[in-house]
Amino acid sequence: VYANDPFDELDSAVDSYEQSPEQEQKEFDQFQAAQNEEYKAFEKQLMEEFEAFKRINQEETAKYQAKVGKVWDKPEVSSQKVWVEYANNDTQKKRVDFEQQTISISTAIEKTADEQKPASDASLKKTLKKLIKENKAEAFKNDQIAQAVEKRSKEKITNLKTAKVKASPILLPYLTGNDKASDKEIDKIVEHMVANKKKTVTVNAKGNKVVTLEVPLSIPEEPKQQAKKEKSPQTEKKAPKKPKVMADLKTNKLPKSARALESHVTQYAKKAKVEDALVYAIIETESAFNPMAKSGVPAYGLMQIVPRSAGQDATQQLFGKPKILSPSYLYNSEQNIEIGTTY
């Protein structure tokens, strides 16, 4: 029973599985070649899907512009720094210019229609209040281009990253620096806007009258309290003023438009090891803090993430595999900033 050493049997079995260095190298080369072929196939599919995504964006934008062009000479759609919405069968255009800091409400009156009374201040206030309270989820639902792009992309693109658009406000943070405001506070903002409105009336190429009411994208300034002047027998020497350091966020308060993003910017800038100020600068340059920004590249959101370049590089880093990022994913400010800072 004990004549044979069981370890001899084990050693014999192991010896039978040993390979020469040449055989090991051959198998490794075969494995590497297979991996390379698989990656090339994936990369080819990804490029084809991006081109399909780009084509879907172009087709749906052109289709919507043709629809709106039946009413308007220049069928404007949302861009990097301008958010545009249409209502009332496309006869009303709401245009928010984040760079010029204006809101325009334009109404096209058909030439066949009876002479109409100009929109009252009460009607304008109602429209402005609704616009100020509108959130991203509502805006995304109302965006016919984005809805069509999202639907078609889900059907045709396998490497697509989508998300639920959060119901976070669009204009309130820009105006007040906060996500919430009472009806009384909003009414005060609207009163200020209407008190500073400008009206223009034009006739377009179709012979329709276009009435535009433009108001400032701003809030009323608080009255400055005048300090009492105290007479002093001796004139004290004033200390020289220290030069402002724009990157010092504690000394120089963030503008209201940036304040609501502070927690996201700080979190992801720190993670990516970049300066907060750089992230704010990119957002201001790319979108002027318009969370519904889009361009024909196509690029979406605050930091104007392009699915083919920034999106693929950043998703490779974050998810381990490149993905095409949909409008719904990039309209969420937190996700947009995470992708942008990672890139």
Within 8 A by CB and 6+ apart from 56, the residues are: 148, 149, 152, 153, 156
The residues facing 97 across adjacent strands are: 82, 102
Residue 229 CB partners (closer than 8 Å, separation 6+): none
36 has pLDDT over 90: no
For residue 180, pLDDT over 80 is answered with yes
Stretch (H or E) spanning 299: strand 299-300
Each residue's pLDDT tens digit, 276-330? 999 999 999 999 999 999 998 899 999 998 877 778 889 999 999 999 999 999 9
Nearest of 91, 101, 170, 102 to residue 130 by alpha carbon = 170
Half-sphere exposure of residue 220, counting CA atoms within 13 Å on the CB side?
Answer: 14
What is the chain's mean pLDDT, rounded?
Answer: 86
* Per-residue pLDDT band at 252 (split at 50, 70, 90): low
pLDDT at position 254 is 83
Instruction: Give the model's confidence band at 245: pLDDT under 50 very low, under 70 low, under 90 confident, else very high.
Output: very low
**Confidence band, pLDDT 50/70/90 cuts, at residue 43:** confident
Res 74 pLDDT > 50? yes
pLDDT of 102 above 80: yes
- What tens digit of pLDDT does each residue of 190-244 get? 999 999 999 999 998 888 899 999 999 999 876 655 444 444 455 455 556 554 4
* pLDDT for res 237: 57
Would you mind telling me the total number of residues written for the chain in this entry?
Answer: 343
pLDDT value for 120? 80
Selection from 141, 142, 128, 138 nearest residue 175 by Cα: 128
What tokens were used for 118? 């100009």
Average pLDDT, integer, range 124-132: 96
Residue 248: what are its φ and ψ, rounded to 5°? -85, 95
Q: Give the model confidence (pLDDT) of 318-327 as tens digits.
A: 999 999 999 9
| Backbone Cα Rg of the chain | 29
pLDDT above 90: residue 1? no
Please report which confidence band the pLDDT of residue 250 belongs to, taking 50, 70 and 90 as the band edges: low
How many degrees, rounded to 5, is the angle at CA 324 between CA 320 and CA 327?
A: 130
| Residue 99 identity (one-letter amino acid) | E
Query: Which pLDDT score, from 0 to 100, does residue 228 have?
Result: 44
Under 8 Å between Cβ of 339 and 330: yes
pTM of the model: 0.81
Q: What is the pLDDT of residue 85?
A: 97
Burial 32-71 (b: 16+ CB within 10 A, else e): eeeeeeeeeeeeeebeebbeebbebbeebbeebeeebeeb
Contacts (Cβ under 8 Å, ≥6 apart) of 185: 176
**What average pLDDT score do residues 87-110 get?**
95
Q: Tell me what the mean pLDDT of segment 130-159 comes to.
A: 96
Quick check: helix, strand or coil at residue 85?
strand
Could you tell me the pLDDT band of residue 113, with boundaries at 50, 70 and 90? low
End-to-end, the C-alpha distance of the chain in Å comes to: 69
